[in-house]
Amino acid sequence: AESQWGEYDRAYFQSYSHVAIHEEMIKDHVRTDTYRAAIMRHQNFIAGKVVMDVGCGTGILSIFCAQAGARRVYAIEASEIAVQANEVVKENGLSDRVIVLHGRVEDVEIEEKVDVIISEWMGYMLLYESMLGSVIFARDKWLKPGGLILPSHATLYMAPITNTERYQDSIDFWRDVYGINMSALLPLAKQCSFEEPMIETVSGENVLTWPFVIKYVDCYTVTARELESVTARYRFASMMRAPLHGFGFWFDVEFNGPVLYPSNHHSSSLSGTSSSDLYSHGASTQRKRQSRSSDTIVLSTAPEDPPTHWQQTILYFYDPIEVKQDQIIEGSITLSQSKENPRFLNIHLEYSSGGRSFVKESVMR
């Protein structure tokens, strides 16, 4: 299995050796500004301390940490961009404090434990790329007790989506093409457009209900085992009459210290998959969200917030479902690491409404 991971990882890390992906991430100012603000907010904790940056890319977060006064930053990067990260560090006169290590965090050896782990590990639908596993590995092996993890908490949401414009544009389009009835293309259009999860931007107006929390991750306590497969049962009541086109998924992450959120606060109740557990989880997380302190730093990729390069992930149905106000939409969702490639995400979605039930299987590659 290790050697197979190695093979997938070559392709995965290869994709991060191209400069465009780093340009896109850095230019996502919601992302970069929020990370910088979070580092500066925790400056008292970081100053004079040892930091590990898991997957440092071009090294920008490591340098922010150095600017915040870190005594030493281990900037770990498995892709070839580590070469450039090292040069950036040198050119900025930080070689004595920022140590770029070219390798997987699972393989590197350093001579001390760290006070802080920082990482920008979030993929589409939060879990795509499975990079959180490397952060967990780093935490268990290298983080001192009471150390800080940034971000500290992550929440994956889902909500029913209506998007008539999108549907008309790519599906109904074929009903009349220059006056020609091309409806024969409808099945193929639905298959091609909606087989895989779509990464696209929707707005708050496309969302039919309050979102449901699929998974709340406490980075201080989450285990790799817990992430192999995540199942949640959901139940929505549509807030309006509308065609239901699919489900939208997005996440946010919070940057809290270890003191504010004791490490066993949110951990154990989430691994169960019985419906009662998960409903109560949904409710308790709702309370948690409300109790989020107004000065908690949050990086949000929600439709109602400024867009990011993550956009939202949409699972479209082949055919929309007309729902009335208060109509119940319920079912379950399972996200699991693909056995084909652990970086891929298998999505098993069951949904029913108005007496009809459906199952949709998809893979995010």
Interaction site with a second copy (CB under 8 A): 18-20, 22-23, 26-27, 32, 36, 58, 60, 63-64, 81, 84, 87-88, 90-92, 170, 173, 177-178, 180-185, 188-189, 191-193
Pairing between β-strand 312-323 and β-strand 198-200 as defined by DSSP bridges = antiparallel
Whole-number Cα distances in Å, 161 to 240, 282, 349: 11, 19, 15
**Can 120 be counted among the known catalytic residues?**
yes
* Least distance to a second copy, CB of residue 120, Å: 14
Where b means 16+ CB within 10 Å and e means fewer, 108-144 reads beeeeebbbbbbbbbbbbbbbbbbbbbbbebbeebbe
Per annotation, catalytic residue among 77, 129, 226, 361? 129
* Least distance to a second copy, CB of residue 56, Å: 13
Residue number, 9 or 195, with CB nearest to a second copy: 195
* Least distance to a second copy, CB of residue 22, Å: 8
CB distance 74 to 53 below 8 Å: yes
Residue number, 22 or 72, with CB nearest to a second copy: 22
Token pair for residue 348?
């098993």
* Least distance to a second copy, CB of residue 272, Å: 41
Burial class of residue 181, CB neighbours in 10 A (0-12, 13-18, 19+): exposed
Segment holding 166, helix H or strand E: helix 164-170
Per annotation, catalytic residue among 120, 195, 304, 350? 120
For the beta carbon of residue 179, count every other beta carbon within 10 angstroms: 5
**Can 87 be counted among the known catalytic residues?**
no
Task: Write phi, then psi, for 15 (nearest 5 degrees).
Answer: -65, -25
Residue number, 198 or 345, with CB nearest to a second copy: 198
* Least distance to a second copy, CB of residue 276, Å: 43
Token pair for residue 11?
């392709």
Distance CA 329, CA 39 (A): 41
- Catalytic sites, residue numbers: 120, 129
